[in-house]
Homo-oligomer: A and B are copies of this chain.
Amino acid sequence: MDDSAPAPAPAVDAAAGSLREPGRYRKGIAKREAILDAALPVFGQVGFHGASLREIARQCGVSHQSLMHYFPTKDELLMAVLRRRDERLRRHFDDEGGMRVDELVELAEYNVDVPVVISLFITASAEAVSSEHPAHEYYRDYYDRIVRSTTAYLSVAADRGWLRPGYSAAAAARVVLAVQDGLQLQWLYERDAVNVAELMRLVIGSVLTVPTSELDEAVREEARRRP
């Protein structure tokens, strides 16, 4: 093996790499992270189709060849960027009792510090509507799981009569998720005028007749009761 070749891509065989060559492995991890950091704003600014691997390589000071070592295709790079963005959220998709709506509000508060992530996420989710887009399946799965998880959480409210008249658990989940996406888009255009988290709380208060803390308690209680 040529010594000047880049370290092996850690995602492929992380455990083996770390045992054999810990120094090289750590450098590989760091480079991979640097590439993802550089890719994010490029995708966010010009969208998936407009982004070029050459430009991303240039922005993070690695050669085009080295970038291709970690991410052989633009598709793989996009997916790695999106997955990293969603880690925080996806951890809660399988929570017992489903996705708490306060978690969505907290995510909106956190997103304010990373506008480029919001921009990337919205652009990619809109572009990926086409079944030919590399992230199409990813987003189908994402919406499917987040709607189901939030619906599971709100179904406890529905069972107890804590949803405003007209709302099913699924309708309430879709509304809360929609308002988050839509407000974040508005916020990107007029950051001083739109407080995403505050408006989300207002909508949640229009959908639920009890405070979220009370619903959280009910969800925990139901989880304890399950065999």
Q: Name A's B-contacting residues (CB within 8 A).
A: 44-51, 115, 119, 122-123, 125-127, 129-130, 132, 139-140, 143-144, 147, 164, 166-167, 170-171, 174-175, 177-183, 185-186, 188-190, 193-194, 199, 202-203, 205-207
Residue pair B164, A174 in contact (C-beta under 8 Å): no
Per the bound structure, the CA–CA distance linking A26 and B191 in Å amounts to 45
Per the bound structure, the CA–CA distance linking A179 and B206 in Å amounts to 13
Neighbouring B residues of A127 by C-beta, 8 Å: 46-47, 50, 123
Question: Could you say which of A127, A167, A180 has the most chain B C-beta atoms within 10 Å of its C-beta?
Answer: A127
Per the bound structure, the CA–CA distance linking A143 and B189 in Å amounts to 8
Neighbouring B residues of A51 by C-beta, 8 Å: 49
Known contacts A47-B127, A123-B127; A202/B175 CB under 8 A: yes
Main SS class of interface, A: helix
Per the bound structure, the CA–CA distance linking A190 and B177 in Å amounts to 14
Neighbouring B residues of A115 by C-beta, 8 Å: 129
Per the bound structure, the CA–CA distance linking A171 and B205 in Å amounts to 13
Neighbouring B residues of A179 by C-beta, 8 Å: 175, 178-179, 182, 203
A178 touches which of B48, B140, B182, B207 (Cβ 8 Å): B182
Closest 10 CB pairs of A and B: A49-B50, A178-B182, A181-B182, A182-B182, A206-B206, A123-B126, A122-B126, A129-B188, A178-B183, A45-B130
Residue pair B45, A47 in contact (C-beta under 8 Å): no
Per the bound structure, the CA–CA distance linking A166 and B183 in Å amounts to 17
CB<8 Å pairs between A and B, sample of 12: A46-B49, A46-B127, A46-B130, A48-B50, A126-B188, A139-B189, A144-B190, A174-B194, A178-B185, A178-B199, A179-B182, A206-B206
Per the bound structure, the CA–CA distance linking A166 and B202 in Å amounts to 7
By beta carbon, the residue of chain B nearest A123 is: B126
Per the bound structure, the CA–CA distance linking A160 and B199 in Å amounts to 22
Residue pair B147, A186 in contact (C-beta under 8 Å): yes
* Shortest beta-carbon distance from A55 to chain B in Å: 12
A47 touches which of B48, B139, B194, B199 (Cβ 8 Å): B48
Per the bound structure, the CA–CA distance linking A190 and B136 in Å amounts to 12
